[in-house]
Structures are given as structure tokens and as C-alpha cells.
A and B are shown apart, each in its own frame.
Chain A
Amino acid sequence: MDALLFVAAALRISVPYTLAALGATFSERGGVINIALEGMMLSGALGYVLGAHATGNPWIGLAAALAAGLATGLIHALVTVRFRADQITSGLGINLLAAGLTKFILTQVFHSSSNSTRVVGMPGWRLAGLENLPALGSVLATPLVLMTVALVLVGQAALFRSVFGLRLRSVGERPEAAATLGLPVTFYRYAGVLISGALAALGGAWLASEQHSFTDGMTNGRGYIAIAAMIVGKWSPLGAAAACLLFGAAEALQITLQGSAFPTELLQTLPYVVTMLALAGFIGRAIPPRALGTPYDPEHAG
């Protein structure tokens, strides 16, 4: 039973990581580095709370989160794809923007720069008795958890088994070659970044729904952990999801050990250390898409 509770906690924790990391595979496979995940998640979290607060309907909250994530993604796409500016700097700028703007909006709507009022969370589902499973039931029967599992599978298929995925990857590997074949490079890069914004925002919405509120800086570095997971997962949805589960398990363990003499702070560094080892090539070589980080300039192509 304890083991099951632990698995349930790990699953629950890994949901927002998985959504954001899955999105990042699309952005980066298309050639755009996405350090902006943190800001996209934060925007999604606030979007959910604003939508749910205004209507009392969690689904409208979810839609508002998606809109906020797409808007944030659009800024990243405009700066990096349209204006071809540095992708890393843009990501950091967006994270700063989201941190500031969410607090700014918070003060205007909820008259506090630290937290919102309580909002409704996502409802549980009754689904073929799934909700009756011991310990795991309450996690598995949650709409966003099921959606996350489905999205990972669909994402894996879309990226590696569909025409869209093939084209997106070609744009991230050799944009000039893709353009020669008549592919609209810019369109695919926009698509990758926007998908990333939407999925990261869903992750943020999950956090806000679980907590029933928005608090200042509530994503707390999760966007960066999601990037780490995507790298450890070698830019593939399934790999990223596996890394997120690992990181989620580490975090669950850390919560279990809290208060004991065990140095939980050191356990907290596991995702970061694993990522640095992966980048250095100790856990198989993680090779980024070839044109990752390089703006595509049609005037200078070929």
C-alpha cells in the first residue's frame, strides 16, 4: 500500500513536468530552444485561475490556460522566428516577463501580489471503475493525468510517425534543405513553439488546479526541470516522460524523507546532476537537433 501511495505521488508530481517537457520536444525538434517553459507554465497557471475565478468552471479555466500559453508561445515565436533574435535570451526574457506580469495582474484582480483567492479544481472522473483502484485511483481517474498519458503517446507518434513530425524535425535539422523542398520553415517553427506553449500551460493549469489557487512564482523552477527532462530523454516524448517519472519519483522520495535526518536538499539536486551527466555523455550521448538555436534566415539560405 505504501509503495502504491508512493507511485501515486510520483505520478501526480510528474504530470506538469511531463506536459511541459513533451511540449519542449516539439519546439526544440523544430529548431527553437525553449528556456521559456517556466514562464509558459506560470502564464498557464494564472490563466487557469483567472478563467476558473471568473466563471467557476474548471474547463473554462483550462481553456484560459491554453490561451495564455499560446500567447506566451507567440511572443517567443515572434522574437526568435520572426525577428531571429537569440532564443536563449528570449526564453529568459519571457520567464522574467511572466514572473512580473502574473504578479502585476494578481495585484489588479485579487489585490495581493502573493496569492489569488480559492478557485475550483479539475473534477475527478468516474471511468470504468478506475477511480476505485487502491491509492492509484484518485490519480488515474483525474482528467489531466489521463490526458497527459494520451498526449505523450500521441506526441511520440506525431513526432516520429506522421508527416507533420517528419517535416517539423527536418526544419530543426536542416532548414535550408527543408525550404528547398518547399516546406514553409517559419510555419513549422511557429507550430513547434506554439504547441510547446500550450502544453506547458496545461502543466501550469494542473498545478493551479491541484492547489486551487495561484501563488506568486508557484512553478518554482519546474520549467527548468522539464527542459532537463527533455534533454535526459533525448528530445523524444517517451524519453522525456520517462525522465519526468524519474524526477517525480525523486521528488516524492524527498517529500517522504522530509523531517528525517536525510539531507533532502541533496536529493533535490538529482534532476540537475543527472542532466549534467547526460549532457557530458555519461548516460548515452544526448544529441540535440542539428539546427537547434540557429535562426532561419531565408535571405541567407543556401
Chain B
Amino acid sequence: MKAPSRAALLTASAPLIAVALALLAGAGFIAAIGEDPLAIYALMARETLGTGYGIGQTLFKATPLVFCGLSVGLGFRAGLFNIGVEGQLTVAAFAAALVGAALAHLPAIALLPLTLATAIATGALWGAVPGVLKARFGSHEVINTIMLNFIAAALVSYLGRGVFEPATVRTAEIGAGATLPRLDLLWPVLRGSPANLALPIALAVAALVGVLLFRTRLGFELRALGLNAPAAEYGGIPIGATQVKAMALSGAIAGLAGMNFVLGYKHFFELGFSAGVGFIGIAVALLGRNHPVGITIAALFFGGLLYGGLAINERVPKELVEVLLAIVILLAISVQQVIERIARKMAA
């Protein structure tokens, strides 16, 4: 009786082991350039958690990661690997920014829901494409989502020719009614940080995804598809339709990832604003084990790393954080395999 529970505990600890090993590797890099790893990590912790401003910045960086992690995690639950978050959030943010600017005269009560709905719908549409291709032609969503990332970038830069502000790669400002207020209005302690109402929206979406996955019929169907597609089909779940729904949902959530920047921070869309956040979402989902709670925690952790990297940039190049993220990904999947093998042996 004891062995399986210990095995389960061991399996659950895999992400923590991966993070610890990655920080150790990072310490090696820091030492290699002649800095003191402990001092750098302490500085990072102080800058991110030690001040209200640092916490606000961490929350700001974490917000899009929650959306991206949820998007990838929901896909994983359904057995689909959505690498297309970057493209989905790009087209969605672009469309939302255009709507927010074009209808700038509308009051917030109409404009904000309209802008958010545009982002959700555009993301869902862009995400549904690889779902349809998979359901209809059996073509693998990984390659298709990668291709669609590039197509999204090209499409937005083409359409942008007509709508970007002169001599820039950004759209006009959205109306005041579409903006998301900053959190420091509510909590003065966060003063100066760009954390905004997109964060509570992200947390609400995380809760919704939890309910959807574990409390609804659709969620059950998604998970059944992910666990064992042939069995799900035998059980009467329409595979193709469920794949399309999963990809559309994943895209819809990804579509909201840009709102932190567009509605809550700069109030316009700018080419390249997302800086690869869609890919970091994969690490977030991995570390969060595709569970909304885990994803939220992982997003906060990575948000802290991203801001912490900027805070130490004078002593250690901020690229260290990118390296750390990559090592976390590679270790998380390797450690997971090793531990699962050990756990199997313990249970046997």
C-alpha cells in the first residue's frame, strides 16, 4: 500500500527537481563569468519579491504566461500539442487593437467586451485551423501550428502596411473604454508597475478552465481523447469534432494573452510585442502539469524569472533567464521520464 503513494509523490516532485537542477546549472553559468551565484540569485529574489514594484512587475510578466500556459495545457489534456500560441495571440491582439481603435468612441461597457470578444474569436478561429486540418486530413498539428505562426507574422505585417501609424510598426491607440486599468489604482503598494486587470481575468480564466476540464461533459471528452483516443472513440466521443473544439478553445485562451500588453499596458498593438511568450507557455504547461493551479504557480515563477533577469542585467546578461527556461524544459521532460521509470519499479 505504501509504495504506490510514495511513487506518486515522487512523480509529483519531478518539476521541482527540474527547477532545482536548472538553478544549479544557472549557478554554473553565473560563476563562469566571475559573479557570485548566491549573490545574484539573492539580488534576483530581492528585486522581484522584495518591493511592491517588483511584485507588480512579476505579476505583469506572469499574466500572459498564465494564458499561454492554459492554452498549451488545455491542448495537452486533449492530446494536442499547440505550438501555435504565438501566432494565435498575434492575430488576436492585432484584431483586438484594430477594433479597440476603430470604435474608440464607444463607452467601456460596450467597447471592452467587444474588444475582448474580438481577441477570443480571432484566437479561436486561428487555433481551429490546425484542428480542422487534423480532423479532416489527419495532418499533424505540430507542424501546422508552426507554419501558422509564420503565416500569422507575415499576415499581420502585410495588413499592418495599411493600418500602422506612419513610420512605425504599431497600430493607433485604442479608445479609453477598451483599456484595462492598472492594479496600482487598487493596491498603491504596486505603484509604478504595469500590472493590470488582465491578471484577475487570467486567474478567472484559469478557474474556468479548471471547471471546464473537470466538471463538464466537454472537459471529460477532451481528457478522454487525450488519455486514449481509440477508447474515447469507442465510448462514443466524436474524435474529429472534439479535436476542433479543443484547438479552438486553446486558441481562444491564447487570444487573450496579448490583452495584458494591448489593453493594459501600451494601448496599441506593436509587431513583435509578445517576444516569444507563446513558447514559454509550453514550459509553463509542462511545469504546471497541465493543471490550472499548477500552471498559475509556474507562470508566477517564470514571471519572476523574466523580471528578475532584467533586474540583474547589469551584472549578468539577462539572456541567462532564457537559458534557464530552456534548461528547465529539457530537464523537466527528462527527469519526468527517469522518475516515472523509478516509480514504475517501486510500484511493481
- Seen from chain A, the residues whose Cβ lies within 8 Å of a Cβ on chain B are 35, 75, 78-79, 83-86, 88-90, 92-94, 96-97, 99-101, 103-104, 107-108, 113, 221, 224, 227-228, 231, 263, 265-266, 268-269, 272-273, 275-276, 279-281
B interface SS class:
helix
With an 8 Å Cβ cutoff, the count of chain B residues facing the other chain is 43
Whether B279 and A96, one on each chain, are in contact in the complex, defined by CB atoms closer than 8 angstroms, is yes
Q: How far apart are the CA atoms of A96 and B137 in the complex, in Å? A: 31
Q: How far apart are the CA atoms of A17 and B147 in the complex, in Å? A: 16
Whether A107 and B319, one on each chain, are in contact in the complex, defined by CB atoms closer than 8 angstroms, is yes
In the assembled complex, which residues on chain A have CB atoms less than 8 Å from the CB atom of B321? 100
Tell whether B139 is near chain A: CB-to-CB under 8 Å.
Answer: yes
Whether B330 and A75, one on each chain, are in contact in the complex, defined by CB atoms closer than 8 angstroms, is yes
Of B43-51, B154-162, B179-187, B195-203, the stretch lying at the interface with chain A is B154-162
Q: How far apart are the CA atoms of A263 and B156 in the complex, in Å? A: 12
Q: How far apart are the CA atoms of A263 and B146 in the complex, in Å? A: 22
In the assembled complex, which residues on chain A have CB atoms less than 8 Å from the CB atom of B6? none
In the assembled complex, which residues on chain B have CB atoms less than 8 Å from the CB atom of A279? 133, 137, 139-140, 143-144
Whether A104 and B319, one on each chain, are in contact in the complex, defined by CB atoms closer than 8 angstroms, is yes
In the assembled complex, which residues on chain A have CB atoms less than 8 Å from the CB atom of B330? 75, 79, 90, 93-94, 97
How many whole Å from B243's CB to the nearest CB in chain A? 14
Q: Known interface pairs A97-B323, A269-B155. Does A224 touch B150 (Cβ–Cβ under 8 Å)?
A: yes
Whether B137 and A272, one on each chain, are in contact in the complex, defined by CB atoms closer than 8 angstroms, is no
How many whole Å from A83's CB to the nearest CB in chain B? 4
Q: How far apart are the CA atoms of A92 and B81 in the complex, in Å? A: 12
Tell whether B24 is near chain A: CB-to-CB under 8 Å.
Answer: no
Q: Known interface pairs A97-B327, A97-B330. Does A88 touch B158 (Cβ–Cβ under 8 Å)?
A: no
Q: Known interface pairs A92-B83, A104-B319, A281-B139. Does A86 touch B333 (Cβ–Cβ under 8 Å)?
A: yes
- Kindly identify which residue among A83, A113, A268, A276 contacts B144, using a CB–CB cutoff of 8 Å: A276
In the assembled complex, which residues on chain B have CB atoms less than 8 Å from the CB atom of A35? 142, 146
Whether A96 and B322, one on each chain, are in contact in the complex, defined by CB atoms closer than 8 angstroms, is yes
Q: Which of B121-146 contact A (CB under 8 A)?
A: 133, 136-137, 139-140, 142-144, 146
In the assembled complex, which residues on chain B have CB atoms less than 8 Å from the CB atom of A79? 330, 333-334
In the assembled complex, which residues on chain B have CB atoms less than 8 Å from the CB atom of A275? 143, 147
How many whole Å from A301's CB to the nearest CB in chain B? 15
Which 7 pairs, one residue from A and one from B, show the smallest C-beta to C-beta distance?
A: A100-B322, A97-B326, A93-B329, A85-B333, A265-B158, A279-B139, A272-B147
Tell whether B338 is near chain A: CB-to-CB under 8 Å.
Answer: yes
A interface SS class:
helix
Q: How far apart are the CA atoms of A96 and B286 in the complex, in Å? A: 15
Residue picked from B327, B334, B338, most chain A C-beta under 10 Å: B334
Whether A269 and B137, one on each chain, are in contact in the complex, defined by CB atoms closer than 8 angstroms, is no
In the assembled complex, which residues on chain B have CB atoms less than 8 Å from the CB atom of A227? 143, 146
Q: How far apart are the CA atoms of A265 and B276 in the complex, in Å? A: 20
In the assembled complex, which residues on chain B have CB atoms less than 8 Å from the CB atom of A231? 143
Q: Which of B14-29 contact A (CB under 8 A)?
A: 29
Whether A104 and B320, one on each chain, are in contact in the complex, defined by CB atoms closer than 8 angstroms, is yes
Whether A96 and B333, one on each chain, are in contact in the complex, defined by CB atoms closer than 8 angstroms, is no
In the assembled complex, which residues on chain B have CB atoms less than 8 Å from the CB atom of A90? 330, 333
Tell whether B151 is near chain A: CB-to-CB under 8 Å.
Answer: yes
Q: Known interface pairs A75-B330, A276-B139, A279-B139. Does A88 touch B151 (Cβ–Cβ under 8 Å)?
A: no
Q: Known interface pairs A99-B322, A224-B146. Does A85 touch B336 (Cβ–Cβ under 8 Å)?
A: yes
Whether A266 and B158, one on each chain, are in contact in the complex, defined by CB atoms closer than 8 angstroms, is yes
Q: Known interface pairs A96-B279, A100-B319. Does A89 touch B151 (Cβ–Cβ under 8 Å)?
A: no
Tell whether B13 is near chain A: CB-to-CB under 8 Å.
Answer: no
Tell whether B325 is near chain A: CB-to-CB under 8 Å.
Answer: yes
Tell whether B337 is near chain A: CB-to-CB under 8 Å.
Answer: yes
